[in-house]
Amino acid sequence: MATEEKHHDQTEAPVLEALENYHRSGELAFTPPGHKQARGADPEVRRILGDAVFHGDVLASGGLDDRRTRGNVLQRAERLMAEAVHAEHAYFSTCGSSLSGKAAMLTVASPHEKLLVGRDAHKSVVSGLILCGLRPVWVEPAWDPERHLAHPPSAEAYERAFREHPDARGALVTSPTPYGSAADIAAIAEVCHRRGRPLVVDEAWGAHLPFHPDLPPWAMDAGADVCVTSIHKMGSGLEQGSVLHLQGGLIDPADLASRADLLGTTSPSVLLYAGIDGWRRQMVRHGHELLTRTLELAGHVRTEIERIDGLHVNDADDFCGPGRAAEFDPLPVVIDLGELAISGYDTA
Ligand SMILES: Cc1ncc(COP(=O)(O)O)c(C=O)c1O
């Protein structure tokens, strides 16, 4: 946290603890979910999913917390997350980065306004532009003609786009890419901040970045205003668990929270909240050690695959440098099959 003194106990997991208390109390609500702690669910469904799924599926308010959320369960979990990853605010979301990204975009720009967007954006960003009625100013990624893949656009590309479109309300960059190449976020943030505009980072593939120094810089550390992460991609949360992170004075936290509320469900899954909350605690406690081991394993896998005739594992030398990416995350192992006469689809 940049401005507030750290005083939260990272060994706590408010969502998990509230869930445990709910079970201990033996309450059975006259409210949704209709399966009533698995009792009403189909036996075959229970057999295959396991009752734990139903036991964790309770109302967020009027179940996990009381009807007026006086326990501040979610708020406390979000505060712990913000502190753990050096953000000022964190908001849990249960519709993936697909929804968090839209909330961020709608906070930065209003319908008919311009937003600079790296052209290698995910489909959820493109659908966000359509649904929010924003006018994209496309920023060309760093295209690798040899490997036929795109790395995040450079800071200079954002600079040029802002010069041509000074009325753009802010910028969005996807970093890291699913290939593991990452942008120079600090330089792009500087381009934005010189104009008093915020930078949004689609960091769906970067939830692990805050927890190890040998990974590319994390958007909050690099000075971005908002970043969006999927906890189910590079973290161990459940599918659809996502977190919006915010810092700095360019975006009002109430605005971001209200856009997330506008787009989000009124029945958020407590299972997803629990997955996010527990993962944050795991990473604070063991993230460095787990990621050190993961980096070693990825290194080993890379070396062994590289030995196989016809296969080449792309590394920082392939992806980084002038006209290419600024940073590299070695955990996604991208294998180049160019020397073989078969496609990636056939190989998979
Ligand atoms: C770059 C990028 N942004 C956003 C998303 C959407 O994330 P989610 O699947 O959590 O909705 C994805 C999903 O693959 C992605 O790759």
Final residue before a domain boundary, out of 225, 255, 276 = 276
Whole-number Å distance, alpha carbon 15 to ligand 1 midpoint, is 24
Per-residue pLDDT reduced to its tens digit, 155-186: 999 999 999 999 999 999 999 999 999 999 99
Cα-based angle 239, 66, 272 (whole degrees, multiple of 5): 5
Residue 66 has pLDDT above 50, yes or no: yes
Pocket of ligand 1 (CB under 6 A): 96-98, 101, 122, 124, 174, 178, 202, 204-205, 230, 242
Do 105 and 122 belong together in one domain?
A: yes
Do 110 and 239 belong together in one domain?
A: yes
Which tokens sit at 74? 């979610």
Q: What is the pLDDT of residue 28?
A: 83
Do 219 and 174 belong together in one domain?
A: yes
In a domain, 4, yes or no: no
| Ligand 1 closest atom vs CA 174 | 1
Continuous H helices in 112-165:
123-132, 155-164
Q: What is the pLDDT of residue 347?
A: 87
In this structure, the residue with its CA closest to atom 1 of ligand 1 is 122
Q: What is the pLDDT of residue 36?
A: 95
Parallel, antiparallel, or unpaired for β 89-93 and 242-246? antiparallel
Per-residue pLDDT reduced to its tens digit, 201-216: 999 999 999 999 999 9
In a domain, 5, yes or no: no
For the chain, what's the residue count?
Answer: 348
| Closest CA relative to residue 102, chosen from 200, 223, 198, 176 | 200
| Closest CA relative to residue 96, chosen from 124, 120, 133, 132 | 124
Q: What is the pLDDT of residue 295?
A: 98
Average pLDDT over residues 185-198: 98
Final residue before a domain boundary, out of 228, 251, 276 = 276
**Residue pair 228/203 in contact by the 8 Å Cβ criterion:** yes
Whole-number Å distance, alpha carbon 98 to ligand 1 midpoint, is 6
CA distance 117 to 100: 16
Average pLDDT over residues 141-147: 94
In this structure, the residue with its CA closest to atom 9 of ligand 1 is 96
Domain count, the chain: 3
CA distance 142 to 153: 5
CA distance 10 to 199: 28
**25-45 burial, b if ≥16 CB within 10 A, otherwise e?**
eeeeeeeebebebbeebeeee
Whole-number Å distance, alpha carbon 9 to ligand 1 midpoint, is 30
DSSP class of residue 89?
E
Q: What is the pLDDT of residue 160?
A: 98
Place of tokens 């505009």: 197
Average pLDDT over residues 264-276: 97
Residues of the chain above pLDDT 70, percent: 98
CA distance 209 to 183: 13
Query: 311, exposed or middle or buried, with CB in 10 Å at 0-12, 13-18, 19+?
Result: middle
Residues of the chain above pLDDT 90, percent: 93
Residue 1 has pLDDT above 50, yes or no: no
More confident residue, 348 or 171: 171
Do 266 and 295 belong together in one domain?
A: no
Per-residue pLDDT reduced to its tens digit, 24-52: 999 888 899 999 999 999 999 999 999 99
Residue 147 has pLDDT above 50, yes or no: yes
Do 30 and 96 belong together in one domain?
A: no
Do 44 and 102 belong together in one domain?
A: no
Do 223 and 130 belong together in one domain?
A: yes
In a domain, 281, yes or no: no
Do 99 and 225 belong together in one domain?
A: yes
Whole-number Å distance, alpha carbon 230 to ligand 1 midpoint, is 7
Domain enclosing residue 59, as ranges? 14-64
Do 77 and 59 belong together in one domain?
A: no
Q: What is the pLDDT of residue 5?
A: 54
In a domain, 2, yes or no: no
Strand order in the sheet with 114-118: 89-93, 242-246, 226-230, 199-202, 171-174, 114-118, 135-139
Query: 196, exposed or middle or buried, with CB in 10 Å at 0-12, 13-18, 19+?
Result: exposed
Residue 3 has pLDDT above 50, yes or no: no
State how far the alpha carbon of 223 is from the alpha carbons of 102, 227, 250, 298, 334, in Å.
Answer: 20, 10, 12, 28, 28
Query: CATH number, domain at 217?
Result: 3.40.640.10
Do 54 and 114 belong together in one domain?
A: no
Banded model confidence at residue 7, pLDDT cuts 50, 70, 90: low
In a domain, 7, yes or no: no
Do 32 and 178 belong together in one domain?
A: no
CA distance 175 to 150: 11
Do 178 and 95 belong together in one domain?
A: yes
Residue 258 has pLDDT above 50, yes or no: yes
pTM (two decimals): 0.96
Whole-number Å distance, alpha carbon 208 to ligand 1 midpoint, is 15
